[in-house]
Amino acid sequence: MRPGRTGSAVVDLRDADEGEPDHAPRPAGIATVNVPLDPVGTPFYEHWTGIDNLGSPLYYPAMLVEHPEPIVAAVRAIADAAPGCVVFHCAGGKDRTGLLALVLLALAGAAPEEIIADYLLTYQRMKQRYDELGARDQLAAVTELLATRNTTIEASLASTIASLTMPDYLLGNGLSDAEFAALRARLTA
């Protein structure tokens, strides 16, 4: 964290061409950091777009192993943000956001069942938005997709959480000791 900086930060996990510009300017003191989480243009992206359109936790373990850089970059943006509130988002509120939340909650020491409950809560909280857009019930859609792969949301997430060793994952993939200390302080203060 940089001394003397205060305010809030928004970490936008969408690809640069994915979002619309803000309809109104952000208030002073709110910084926006764009950290695209999807490795667009890679074989990984093409592969998983064909399986689940990167719309379920099924791709999380592969993403963590094959593309740790964007995950660490998003964590770094949170660690380096000025003192104050930090929020992060993607387009749907459950996929990229869900992966980053899983990583942060695992680092903070949340129990696997708490992380899974947090992920599932997103479906409930986002239901009205998807209804307004005329989109299919996302919980039903993801549940059905994972059933074709002989798994469930809960089992997929539990497997991902069990494979994630913290803080070794972040430190081994480029997060510095100073960034880790700043992140830990932000998550536990």
Query: Catalytic residue numbers?
Result: 90
- Amino acid type, 68: P
Taking a C-beta distance cutoff of 8 angstroms, is the pair 114, 105 a contact?
yes
Task: Report the alpha-carbon distance of residue 79 to residue 69 in Å, rounded.
Answer: 15
Q: Is 11 helix (H, G, I), strand (E, B) or coil?
A: strand
- Starting at the edge strand found earlier in the chain, the sheet holding 86-89 runs 30-34, 8-12, 86-89
Q: CB atoms < 10 A from the CB of 37, how many?
A: 24
